[in-house]
Chains A and B, each alone.
Chain A
Amino acid sequence: MRRGAAILAVVALLPLWLVFSPTLRVSAQGGAVEGPLPRGPNVDLVYANCQVCHNLRYVTDSAGLPAFLWEDTIGLMVQLGMQVTDEERAKILDYLTTYLGPNPPPQAPAAAEAQGAVETDAQAGGAADDAAPDGEALYTANCASCHQPNGRGVAGVFPPLVDHVPVLYNAEGGRDYLPTLLLYGLQGRIVVLGESYTNVMPAWAQLPDADVAAILNHVLRAWDNEALLPDSYVPYVAEEVGAKRGLELSPQAVIEQRPDTGGQ
C-alpha cells in the first residue's frame, strides 16, 4: 500500500507519462530500461546528442511541434554548437518529426512486445545466446559522434579511448568502474593522456545490459587496445552490467569512483 502510494506520487510528478503512455520494455537480452523518449528508429541519436547541453525534458515538452519547426530547431541547435554530421542530422529530424510531431504513431504496447520477444526466443531455442549484440555497430551509433569512429576523441573536448580504456580497466577497481561509467555518465575534470577534459558524458542507462557489455568489449579490443589487456581478461556479460543498476549515482559521484590512472 505504502509503495503503491509512492508510485502514484511519482506518476503525478511526471505528466509526460500520460502523454506517451510509456510502458516498460524488457529486452530479450534482459535489463533494458526505457528512457523518456518514445521508441523509434534513431532514438539513440537523440539520447546521444540532445543531453549534452539540456535535459531531455526540453525535447519531450516540445512534443507536437510542426515538422518545419523541428527542422528549424535542429538548425538552431547546430548554431548553438551541436556537432552532428548531415546524415545524423537528417536521422534526428526524421525521428523528431515522426515521434514528437503533431501526429505521432501510437506506441506499441511494450508488454506485448516484450512478450513477443520472449516467445521468439523460445521458438528459436538456444539461439538467443548466439545473437549477441554487435559492439562495433553499437559504438558507431552511440559513441562515435563524440569519441570519433577511430576512438581518438577530440583533444581537450572528448577524451580518446585508444590507449586509455585498457589503462582504466587495469587500474584497481577498473573492471567495476567501466559499466558504472556507462550507466550513470560522468561530470567533472579528468586528465587523459596528459590532456584535461571537463565536458559532460551523458548516462547510457537506456541501453540494454547486453548492449552496454558489447560496447565495453568492443572498446577494450578495438584499435589495438586488446594488446594492453591482461591475460586474465574475460569479456563483460549482461548480468555484470545489470548488477550495477539501481545504485542511483550522479555523474559527479561517478568521478569519485574513477580509478587513478596517473593521467594516462
Chain B
Amino acid sequence: MSDTLKKALERVAEARLERREVLRLMGLTAVATAGLPGILQYARAQDELKLASEVVIGKNDLLVVHNDRVGVMETPLELLREHAITPKDILYLRNNQILEPEGRSLEGASLDDWTVELRGLVAFPRVVTGAMLAELPQTEVEMVLQCSGNGRSFFARAVQTRGTQWAHGGMGNVTFRGVMLRDLLASFDPPLNPRPEVTFITAEGADPPPEGTSRPDFEHSVPLEDALNRAMLATAMNGEPLPGAHGGPVRLIIPGYYGTMNVKWLSTLRFETAETNNVNQIPRYRVPRDPIEPGTPIDYTFGNSTPNWRQRVKSVIFEPLNGAELSVGTVTVRGVAWGGDAPITMVQVSADGGATWQAASLETPGSAWAWHHFSADLPLASGEQRIWVRAIDELGNSQPLDGTVRWNPSGYEWNGADYVDVVIA
C-alpha cells in the first residue's frame, strides 16, 4: 500500500470517528442544555448522506456517496489505482432504480427462478431461465465499466452541468463472465434469428420505478450489430456470482459501452426497428451529435443526438495525484487509458500544455476494452507544473485538450485530456 493511500485512509478513518463523536456530542449537548449547539446542529443538517455500507451492505466506507436512496457512489483514485481488477467493495455504483433486496447486497444473487424474456420482431418469443444460462458456453471479458456521467464535474470549467458531480471515480476495471447473446440465440432450435428489419435491442430490468411517482420504467436501446458482436448475459463478475448490487443475477453487458446501457437485473430483451422513446433513452443519456456552445440549450431529437453508447477514448493519471509535492528530477507518470471503439495504441504525456508530447510506454491488455496501463518518465523543472495525458486509439480517435468543447447540458461523456497539478521542489 502506498504512503499516500495510507495517509488518505487514516485521514478518512479519523474523519469518520470525529463525525461519530460530533453526532454523539450533539445529542448530549442538546439534552443537557435543551438549546442549540449552533454549528454542530448545522453540520448535522448539512451532513445528510449515509455511508456507503449503509446504502449497500459490504461497500467500502471510503467511497464518496452521492445519493443514498437508490445508491450512487464513486471510488477515490487513491483506492481505485491500488487494484488491477477493481474489487466489488470499492467498485462505483450508479442506480436509477433499485431491485430490493438484491440491490442492497454484494452477495451473488440467485439464478434460481430468474427468467429473461426474448421477444419483439422474432419468429418465436423465448424465455431463458437461469439454469439454461448456467449450461451454455461461458465467455469472460475484462473491461472498463464507466458511468456516462464520469468526469461531469470538469464541464464546470466552462458552464455548470446538472446531475451527480462525478470526479474520475465513476469507473472501474472488472471481468464479467456469461453467455454471449449470439451464442444464446444460436442455442435455440430453430435458432432465434431477429427479422431482417431489426436494428436495435431494448433491454428492461426487473427493478421497479419508485412507488408514489408516475415515473416510467427504466430501459435502454442499443444497436443490434454491436449487441450481436459484443453483448453477453453476464452472471459473474471478478470470478464470483454477479453481486445483486451490480445487477445480479443477470446483467446485460456490452463491453466498451457506457455503464448505463449495461442494464441490471435483466428481465426482457426486445428486438425492434427503432430506439425506444423512453425518457431514459431520449432526452436523458444523450449528447449532441455536433458540438454546441457551452451553456446553450438543445432540444434532443433522434437525429441531432446520440445515446451514451460506445465510450469515448479516455486516459486518467493515477500517479502522481493532483496536488502532489515532488522532488526535482524525473517524475514517473502512471495511469490507465481505454476506449469503446477500438484498442488504445498510444498514450502521450506533456509538461508544456500540449505544445510537445512524449510517448508513454503502454501495456497491451488481453481485452480491447480493459484498462491499458501506461507509464512515462517526464523530466520536470522546479516550481508548479501541470502534467497532461492523452490517449489515441487504433482508429485515430483521441481526446480534446479542452474537454468542454463537448459540453452538453447533462454533462455526459467527459473525455478531455487529463491533467494533474504538482509542485516540484
Q: Is the CB of A6 within 8 A of B162?
A: no
Q: Is the CB of B36 within 8 A of A63?
A: no
Q: Is the CB of B279 within 8 A of A79?
A: yes
Interface string of A56-71 (1 = CB under 8 A from B): 1110011111101100
Between A and B, 30 residue pairs with Cβ closer than 8 Å are A6-B22, A7-B39, A10-B22, A10-B43, A12-B15, A14-B43, A14-B46, A33-B36, A34-B45, A36-B48, A53-B69, A53-B213, A55-B66, A57-B48, A57-B66, A62-B162, A65-B160, A69-B162, A72-B297, A76-B283, A80-B216, A81-B209, A102-B160, A154-B212, A205-B45, A245-B30, A246-B27, A246-B31, A246-B41, A248-B23
Q: What is the total number of residues of chain B having a CB less than 8 Å from a CB of chain A?
A: 53
Q: Is the CB of B409 within 8 A of A62?
A: no
Q: Is the CB of B211 within 8 A of A33?
A: no
Among A78-92, those with CB < 8 Å from B are 79-83
* Residues of chain B contacted by A81 (CB below 8 angstroms): 209-210, 213-215
* Residues of chain A contacted by B27 (CB below 8 angstroms): 246-248
Q: What is the total number of residues of chain A having a CB less than 8 Å from a CB of chain B?
A: 61
* Residues of chain B contacted by A243 (CB below 8 angstroms): 34
* Residue B328 is within 8 A (CB to CB) of chain A in the complex: no
Give min CB distance, B416 to chain A, whole Å.
Answer: 19
* Residue B331 is within 8 A (CB to CB) of chain A in the complex: no
A57 and B49 in contact (CB under 8 A), knowing A24-B39, A63-B160, A246-B29? yes
* Residue A115 is within 8 A (CB to CB) of chain B in the complex: no
A198 and B43 in contact (CB under 8 A), knowing A3-B25, A57-B48? no
Q: Is the CB of A54 within 8 A of B69?
A: yes
Q: Spell out A's residues near B (CB within 8 Å).
A: 2-3, 5-7, 9-14, 16-17, 22-24, 26, 31, 33-36, 52-58, 61-66, 68-69, 72-73, 76, 79-83, 102, 154, 157-158, 198-200, 205-206, 239, 242-243, 245-248
B210 and chain A: residue at smallest CB distance: A53
* Residues of chain B contacted by A5 (CB below 8 angstroms): 18
* Residue B165 is within 8 A (CB to CB) of chain A in the complex: yes
Q: Is the CB of B47 within 8 A of A13?
A: yes
When A and B form their complex, what is the total count of cross-chain residue pairs whose Cβ atoms lie within 8 Å? 148
Q: Spell out B's residues near A (CB within 8 Å).
A: 14-15, 18-19, 21-23, 25-27, 29-31, 34, 36, 38-49, 66-69, 156, 159-165, 209-216, 279, 283-284, 295, 297, 409
Q: Is the CB of A198 within 8 A of B211?
A: yes
Report how far A36 CA is from B216 CA in the complex, Å: 29
A52 and B212 in contact (CB under 8 A), knowing A3-B25, A64-B156? yes
